[in-house]
Amino acid sequence: MRYPQFLKNGGVIGFVAPSFGCNMDPHKSKFDHARELLKERGFGEKLGPNCYLGEGIGISSTPENCAEELMEAYLDPESDILIACAGGELMCEVISRMDFKTIREARPKWYLGYSDNTNMIFLLATLCDVAAVYGPNGASFGLGPWHTSMEDTLGILKGSLKEVHGYEKWEREGLEGEENPLAPWNLQEERVLKLWVPWERAAEADAETAGSFDASEPGRAGDMSQSVKREVCSLAEGDGKNFGSGREEDVRESGRLIEDARRFHGSLRMTGRLIGGCMDCLVNLTGTRFDKVWEFQERYAEDGFLWFLESCDLNVFAIRRAMWQMEEAGWFRYVKGFLIGRPLCYGQEMMGLDAYEAVLAVARKYRVPVVMDADLGHLPPAMPIVSGSIGTVEVIGNDIRIEYEYR
């Protein structure tokens, strides 16, 4: 894995719009203010030609123009990092016109964004072996005052920070709009992690007992075809036995769902190479000519993988279908854990299915930890995730932290 040079004091930030442009409020005012705030911190900037456009369908301009802007910006020696202005809808059409062979051969450059920008961030890792940051888009830096997550993201890009922690509150209903475009986040909801722990002695949600689970040891996680038949991790304190007989009927009982981590008096730790993004985009890529996940996994099989996943437009059944599709494509062959963000359809239930079971219907088969409702995705704030890096995720009670290792 290749890691770009960090942003230096006085460095130049390149802004690009391969998805939405900031042509209307609240996005325009937020982006204007973000530029001002970053200039006040001493950074230079270089604007791509599409940043303030809204000429395309689901993207700032035509797919050809967006691809040209992104290619030129990535190869431009005048900018030190790239930040996407916003998310959007049809960046998949942009990557069809990208030259990833040239990007792979170029000097790596940090790329920051989320949502539709999964199309670039995921492919930088899987096609080009280049790390990127799954975090706030450019316009989000215009909200004031800055939330800790913005400072964390800048610290990651500067190389001054290699560890992030979860945030106490999150926003369910935002206050910003055309009349109040710079409104800060409406942080009213308390973060409550939900954990699926593949350990029969794990503390139940209402228990006053403690337990620990460690999935941070090096080595391959289970191959997909054997995922329910072999041990894929080892207990920190345990006897090393398998977590079940491997029969399908035992899978559901091979762990514990901890509904409220505030009542979890134990700890969970998992380490692997971080990969993932917005499931809406990932399932579009699955099975296309850009799907080189199989080869990518083989290159880094000894590390195992932590899949970080979140969703935007998907309802709970679409989330379950997405998990099924990625599993059937072999994407989870060497999984060592799942980090699942709050879905935009938070709290939705359809025909007895909620977002947790939508994930666990697939994830629990692998008998690896699953952390849900993490600070990740479309319901802010979100921890910046260094895609492609070695991540160690540690949950102690209801607190979560991620430590990044660049190798």
- pTM of the entire structure? 0.90
Residue 385 lies in a domain: yes
Is 90 exceeded by the pLDDT of residue 207? Answer: no
- Looking at the fold, whether 124 and 233 belong to one and the same domain comes out as no
Burial 165-196 (b: 16+ CB within 10 A, else e): ebbeebbeeeebeeeebeeebebebebebbbb
Residue range 25-61, pLDDT digits in tens: 999 999 999 999 999 999 999 999 999 999 999 999 9
Residue 7 lies in a domain: no
Dihedral of alpha carbons 323, 327, 332, 337, sign = positive
Last residue of a domain, one of 91, 126, 161: 161
Last residue of a domain, one of 120, 142, 161: 161
Provide the 10 A C-beta neighbour count for residue 392: 17
Residue 292 lies in a domain: yes
Specify the pLDDT at position 343.
97
Query: What percentage of residues in the chain have a pLDDT greater than 70?
Result: 87
- Looking at the fold, whether 200 and 131 belong to one and the same domain comes out as no
CB neighbour list of residue 323: distance below 8 Å, 6 or more residues apart: 279, 358, 359, 361, 362, 363
Measure Cα distances from 178 to 30, 55, 381 in Å: 10, 20, 21
Specify the pLDDT at position 214.
72
Query: What percentage of residues in the chain have a pLDDT greater than 90?
Result: 83
- Looking at the fold, whether 129 and 209 belong to one and the same domain comes out as no
Q: Which residue has the higher pLDDT, 220 or 18?
A: 18
Is 60 exceeded by the pLDDT of residue 82? Answer: yes
Reference 339, options 407, 400, 258; nearest CA is 400
Last residue of a domain, one of 146, 161, 176: 161
Is 60 exceeded by the pLDDT of residue 307? Answer: yes
* 3-state SS assignment for residue 201: coil
Q: Which residue has the higher pLDDT, 238 or 222?
A: 222
- Looking at the fold, whether 193 and 280 belong to one and the same domain comes out as yes
pLDDT band at 254 (very low <50, low <70, confident <90, very high): confident
Distance (Å, whole) CA 376 – CA 399 = 14
Determine contact, residues 181/386, Cβ cutoff 8 Å.
no
Angle between helix axes 355-363 and 316-328 (nearest 10 degrees) is 10
pLDDT band at 230 (very low <50, low <70, confident <90, very high): very low
CATH of the domain at 258: 3.50.30.60
Is 50 exceeded by the pLDDT of residue 226? Answer: no
Residue range 335-361, pLDDT digits in tens: 999 999 999 999 999 999 999 999 999
* 3-state SS assignment for residue 69: helix
Task: Look at the chain and report how many structural domains it folds into.
Answer: 2
What are the tokens at 214? 């460690």
Q: Strand pairing of 385-387 and 132-134?
A: antiparallel
For the segment 200-214, the average pLDDT, to the nearest whole number, is 46
Residue range 130-163, pLDDT digits in tens: 999 999 999 999 997 899 999 999 999 999 999 9
Distance (Å, whole) CA 345 – CA 144 = 26
Reference 87, options 264, 313, 308, 304; nearest CA is 313
Specify the pLDDT at position 213.
64
Is 90 exceeded by the pLDDT of residue 218? Answer: no
Q: In this structure, what DSSP letter does residue 255 have?
A: S
- Looking at the fold, whether 99 and 227 belong to one and the same domain comes out as no
- Looking at the fold, whether 29 and 145 belong to one and the same domain comes out as yes
pLDDT band at 265 (very low <50, low <70, confident <90, very high): confident
Residue 368 lies in a domain: yes
As a whole number, the mean pLDDT across the chain is: 89
Residue 355 lies in a domain: yes
Q: Domain range holding 87?
A: 12-161
